[in-house]
């Protein structure tokens, strides 16, 4: 009989059998799949699991703290947080091409992860949040997790004395099943039900060169949009929603005068497979409220736009 409980028990005993007394390493991103793997492995092997969470400075507002709170503080999972914000921003200085940015971020992630892995001399296993759709469409997929998998898959780059064996406890599960067992394992609903977030994070939501100032402004604006979607019960009516930072300036006017500041675009899409998508028809009053809140509370933003493009011809992300 298929129940979340059975799947968890089954996975727990398989992992225990597989790794025995060995230590296991996991790259925790805060996304659904790696989070569920962390919770599952913690249940199975407790302190034999060490998670490495790389803060690349391109995460959403308070995301790093939330990951630490959920896993380290609340669940007692051993998590090493690597504060690599400055390294990522330095590496991204002057890089404007979207694919070049992806490469910089992906390669640096591997570099940072390997440095941490090398310190954990006893780890013999690398856990990954590979799920069934990743297995079947591994090559050409553009789905959120597949990209991350690609970076994580680069275990060939690990120091040669560290031949890590792979443990992939979600390999036979679909996304819905992963979410269900995540809830059963006690992860917070917001973490389990969250929209996909690209591996390069805000790096591909800041058009052109990434700067800390832009990332800080974008985090605030995006948080206003997402909190409003949640408050109005609209978050789960769309497949993915986020804010994009446009590094151009636009004239605006506030009570005491003229301003000349940045622009953001709100994006919310409905899609089944993320291969095609259409812009969500969010209520006008709602968009109006979000736009006002953003312009009133973030002084560096003078204008908010709503992206009505479909995919194709546009893509979901702007880069």
Positions that interact with ligand XMP (CB under 6 A) = 102, 142-144, 147-148, 196, 198-200, 240, 274, 311, 315-317
- Give residue number: closest CB to ligand XMP: 147
Structure tokens at 282: 């969010």
Least Cβ distance, residue 39 to ligand XMP (angstroms): 21
Positions at the binding site for ATP: 29-35
Least Cβ distance, residue 69 to ligand XMP (angstroms): 24
- Closest to ligand XMP by CB, 250 vs 271, is 271
Task: State in Å, rounded, how far the first CA of the chain is from the last one.
Answer: 44
Q: Can you tell me the distance from the alpha carbon of 88 to that of 319, in angstroms, rounded to the nearest whole number?
A: 18
- Closest to ligand XMP by CB, 151 vs 180, is 151
Structure tokens at 94: 């002057």
- Closest to ligand XMP by CB, 8 vs 112, is 112
- Closest to ligand XMP by CB, 122 vs 138, is 138
For residue 68, give Cα distances in angstroms to 25, 38, 319.
Answer: 16, 12, 29
- Closest to ligand XMP by CB, 43 vs 205, is 205
For residue 127, give Cα distances in angstroms to 22, 48, 218.
Answer: 12, 12, 32
Least Cβ distance, residue 240 to ligand XMP (angstroms): 5
Count the Cβ atoms, other than its own, within 10 Å of residue 74: 12
Q: Which sign does the torsion angle of CA 265, 268, 272, 277 carry?
A: negative
Least Cβ distance, residue 84 to ligand XMP (angstroms): 18
Residue partners of 297: CB distance under 8 A and separation at least 6: 220, 224
Residue partners of 96: CB distance under 8 A and separation at least 6: 208, 209
- Closest to ligand XMP by CB, 94 vs 313, is 313
Angle at 176 between CA 138 and CA 190, to 5 degrees: 110
- Closest to ligand XMP by CB, 25 vs 58, is 58
Least Cβ distance, residue 82 to ligand XMP (angstroms): 19
Positions at the binding site: 29-35
Grouping H, G, I as helix, E, B as strand and the rest as coil, residue 118 is helix
Count the Cβ atoms, other than its own, within 10 Å of residue 95: 17
Tell me which residue of 130, 127, 126 sits closest to 144, measured CA to CA.
130
């Amino acid at each position: 009989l298929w129940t979340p409980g059975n799947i968890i028990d089954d996975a727990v005993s398989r992992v225990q059998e597989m790794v025995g007394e060995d230590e296991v390493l996991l790259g925790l991103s805060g996304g659904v799949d790696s989070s569920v793997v962390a919770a599952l492995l913690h249940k199975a092997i407790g302190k034999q699991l060490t998670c490495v969470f790389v803060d690349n400075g391109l995460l959403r507002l308070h995301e790093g703290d939330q990951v630490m709170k959920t896993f380290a503080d609340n669940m007692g999972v051993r998590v090493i947080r690597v504060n690599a914000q400055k390294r990522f921003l330095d590496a991204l200085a002057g890089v404007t091409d979207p694919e070049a940015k992806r490469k910089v971020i992906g390669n640096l992630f591997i570099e940072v992860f390997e440095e941490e892995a090398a310190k954990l001399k006893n780890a013999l296993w690398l856990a990954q949040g590979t799920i069934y759709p990743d297995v079947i469409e591994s090559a050409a997929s553009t789905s959120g997790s597949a990209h991350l998998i690609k970076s994580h898959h680069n275990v060939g780059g690990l120091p040669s004395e560290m031949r890590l064996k792979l443990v992939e406890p979600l390999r036979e599960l679909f996304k819905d099943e992963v979410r269900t067992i995540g809830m059963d394992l006690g992860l917070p609903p917001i973490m389990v039900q969250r929209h996909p977030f690209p591996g390069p994070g805000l790096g591909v939501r800041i058009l052109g060169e990434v700067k800390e100032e832009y990332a800080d402004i974008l985090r605030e604006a995006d948080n206003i949009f997402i909190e409003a979607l949640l408050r109005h019960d609209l978050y789960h009516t769309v497949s993915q929603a986020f804010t994009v930072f446009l590094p151009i300036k636009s004239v605006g006017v506030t009570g005491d005068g003229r301003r000349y500041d940045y622009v953001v675009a709100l994006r919310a899409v409905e899609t089944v497979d993320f291969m095609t998508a259409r812009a969500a028809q969010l209520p006008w009053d709602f968009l109006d409220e979000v736009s006002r809140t953003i312009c009133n509370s973030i002084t560096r933003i003078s204008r908010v736009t709503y992206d009505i493009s479909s995919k194709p011809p546009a893509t979901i992300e702007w880069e």
